[in-house]
Amino acid sequence: MEKLFVCDQIEPLMRAFTPEQRAESLVLTTQQLRDGGPRPSVKWLFSTWGMAQLTENEIRTLLPNLQAVFYGAGTVQYFARPFLKSGVRVFSAWAANAVPVAEFTLAQILLSNKGFFQLSRRYRRDGYEKAAAFGDHFDGNYGARVGLLGAGMIGKKVIELLRPFRVEIWVYDPFLPEEEAKRLGVRKVELEPLFAGCQVVSNHLANNAQTRGMLNYHLFSKMGPYATFINTGRGAQVVVDDLVCAMREEPGRTALLDVTDPQEPLPADSPLWQCENILITPHRAGSQQKEIFRMGETVYTQYENLLAGRPVQYEVTEAMLRTMA
């Protein structure tokens, strides 16, 4: 048996890979894999959310002839390094998962520039006249300035989706070469002018030690009085108390959080719940339901290409992990 499916979340695994793809293969949890002893016949490992976090020693012992991991989901940060250090290739569906995240972000950007999140609440609370007057603070999308933190796979997809709307895009990304910024049609800037100069700021930074806690009061306080901060990246990059303080200081500001610190479920006593201009969704920007199949299909195609000697895509390297979300 050359193929093995290992995952601690069986439902998304069933959605990501078809019965035909799983035919004549074992489906195991991490504990079942550890308890079952060495499996020298396994060359290919498939998974999605809930992938086994194995040590280098476990990989060498349990899967001595493993050649590649095909991960039908986005970030591989939490499991990939021991596999790569063991000489196992890793393929990820990060490009497929970037699509719904970028679509989710696009919708929030467009609605933010129209004042939707503020106006829907104020219309209910204050009535038509006051809400309509408040709407004059929002200029709409044509010619609006949008700031993106990070121009990785998701950031680039957001840039692509924004093109038809004729917005001006500013990007903060230390790893983005100037030539690439010009090709993308964006302006590369530092953090402070981006927060100060954009109507909407959307976070897509890589998740690493350098970016954790990077987004603080010094930056949030520079946002305009009717600006919006969107986070579909990682909650730990935001200093929660600082964001809450900045939102309370300017009630016309809005924060749209699909990720939080701590991670979901967000505790009932989190200060984020206490701000009416902070809107929180339960981490739904990424692939869900039918979209999950697209991720499995993406990496299974790479498996078929590898077997057939065709070119492959979406392979992850150790160098890439430094800048990936």
Tokens at 11, concatenated: 């439902």
CA-wise closest residue to 204 among 235, 231, 164? 231
What is the tens place of the pLDDT at every residue in 145-194? Answer: 999 999 999 999 999 999 999 999 999 999 999 999 999 999 999 999 99
DSSP state of 259: S
Residues 60-68, mean pLDDT to the nearest whole number:
98
The CATH architecture assigned to 114-280 reads: 3-Layer(aba) Sandwich (3.40)
The yes-or-no verdict on residue 84 having pLDDT over 70 is yes
72-90: b or e for each residue (b if 16 or more CB lie within 10 Å)? bbbbbeebbebbbebebbb
Name the pLDDT band for 276 (thresholds 50, 70, 90). very high
The pLDDT of residue 109 is 98
Q: Percent of the chain scored above 70 by pLDDT?
A: 100
d(CA 250, CA 164): 31
The pLDDT of residue 257 is 98
Sheet strand arrangement including 3-6 = 26-28, 3-6, 44-47, 68-71, 89-92, 315-316
List Cβ neighbours of 198 (8 Å cut-off, separation of 6 or more). Answer: 145, 146, 147, 170, 227
Tokens at 10, concatenated: 């069986």
Tell me which residues are annotated as active site. 234, 264, 283
- Kindly report the CATH number that applies to the domain delimited by 3-96+289-321: 3.40.50.720
Please give the distance of CA 17 from its chain centroid, rounded to a whole number.
Answer: 21
The pLDDT of residue 11 is 86
Residues 48-55, mean pLDDT to the nearest whole number:
95
d(CA 143, CA 213): 31
pTM (two decimals): 0.91
The yes-or-no verdict on residue 88 having pLDDT over 80 is yes
Which amino acid is residue 9, in one-letter code?
Q
Residues 93-113, mean pLDDT to the nearest whole number:
97
The yes-or-no verdict on residue 1 having pLDDT over 70 is no
DSSP state of 267: P
Residues 104-113, mean pLDDT to the nearest whole number:
98
Q: Which of residues 74 and 270 earns the better pLDDT score?
A: 270
Q: Residue 279 is inside which H or E element, if any?
A: strand 278-280
CATH code 3.40.50.720 region(s) in the chain:
3-96+289-321, 114-280
Looking at every residue in the chain, the average pLDDT score rounds to 96
Contact 28, 42 (CB under 8 A): no
DSSP state of 225: T
